[in-house]
Amino acid sequence: MDFGTIGAGTIGQGIAGHLVTAGHRVILSNSRGPDTLRDTVARLGPSATAGTVAEAAAAEMVFLAVRWQDIPAALADVAAWDGRILVDTTNQMTGPTPRDHVDLGSETGSEFVARHAPGARVIKAFNTLFAQYIVPDPRHAEGRQLLFHAGDDADAKTDFCALADEIGFAPVDAGSLREGGRLMQVGGGPLSALHALKQN
Ligand SMILES: NC(=O)c1ccc[n+]([C@@H]2O[C@H](COP(=O)([O-])OP(=O)(O)OC[C@H]3O[C@@H](n4cnc5c(N)ncnc54)[C@H](OP(=O)(O)O)[C@@H]3O)[C@@H](O)[C@H]2O)c1
């Protein structure tokens, strides 16, 4: 399987680092173009390359790692998802604290993302963890970092869990994009910012 990131900041680079360590190829992208990511991909290693958003989004599994307000623009250039997996790492926040969360009414943040990526099989993941629990090796002496995720497509979940497990996390299925996504989102979701380890 090949991988892409839309967004190459703290979270995009952190996930790309795990993918490279596990021996996978990953294309990173941002809004300013591949030339601006030359140093970043050099640091990550030879299986990381920089591309356009369209090139990154052509991968079989794509990680969306942009700030909330940038989601519509970041997804606008992707012509068709055709069932590729989009892992939504975002939080509906316009500022640094959960107090800055965006109230979408009855729609969850993950449904908002799915609406902007028609045809993608969306998995919500990584958003419940602070960056310091995402970026380093998630395998600790006391156990592996729990990684909650939600989604509506069973096969996409299977693929995501296999990858999460391979890169060292302990995946935990929180349910559907709607119900699981609600449990995981900022602004009241009980799994948001819940950092825990699984022994083994
Ligand atoms: N940091 C955390 O602790 C944490 C933890 C869990 C989840 N999250 C969530 O993860 C997401 C990313 O957070 P982050 O901390 O990685 O943010 P960040 O460091 O600010 O990175 C955001 C990235 O998005 C890129 N970007 C902006 N507009 C874009 C566009 N139109 N198309 C493509 N790329 C675009 C930015 O690059 P350019 O500006 O150069 O385009 C940058 O590479 C957020 O939604 C955040 O809520 C963050």
Pocket of ligand 1 (CB under 6 A): 6-12, 29-32, 53, 65-68, 70, 73-74, 89-91, 93, 126-127, 129-131
Number of domains in the chain: 1
The residue range of the domain holding 40 is 3-199
pLDDT for 200 equals 76
Q: Which residues of 142-154 are buried (b: 16+ CB within 10 A; e: fewer)?
A: eebbbbbbbbbbe
Q: What is the pLDDT of residues 66-89, one digit of tens each?
A: 999 999 999 998 989 999 999 999
Nearest CA to ligand 1 atom 10: 90
pLDDT for 98 equals 80
pLDDT for 48 equals 98
Tokens for 123?
């998995």
Asked whether the beta carbons of 120 and 112 are under 8 A apart, the reply is: no
pLDDT for 28 equals 98
SS3 5: strand
User: What's the CATH number where 97 sits?
Assistant: 3.40.50.720
For residue 36, which atom of ligand 1 is closest to its CA?
A: 40
